[in-house]
Amino acid sequence: MCLVASGCVEAYYEIGIHVWDIAAGVLLVTEAGGVLMDVQGGPVDLMSRRVLAANSPALAERLLQEIHSFCPIRDDAAPSL
């Protein structure tokens, strides 16, 4: 996400990443004017463990058509026993 924010790459996505790994990246991309969303097209949800960062809305929308996502266990889910 730092590379998206700096303009070195056009997009990045990851599924399964934890909130503590993406919180600062989300801030950097937002401040740089980039686009952040969930890999299913909704707004980014830090606890969902899914993120798409892009340098433009058009690119983000195009990438959403190519990503086959799944739903990992949320970071705010109750622990299983």
- Nearest 5°: CA angle at 66, between 3 and 64? 65
pLDDT of residue 79: 84
Distances (CA, A) of 12 to 41, 68, 79: 14, 14, 29
pTM: 0.89
pLDDT of residue 63: 96
Averaged pLDDT in 10-residue chunks for the chain of 81 residues: 96 94 92 96 94 97 93 90 72
21 is in an annotated binding site: yes
Percent helix, percent strand, percent coil in the chain, to nearest 5: 35, 15, 45
pLDDT of residue 6: 96
What structural domains and CATH numbers belong to the chain?
A: 2-64 (3.40.190.80)
pLDDT of residue 21: 87
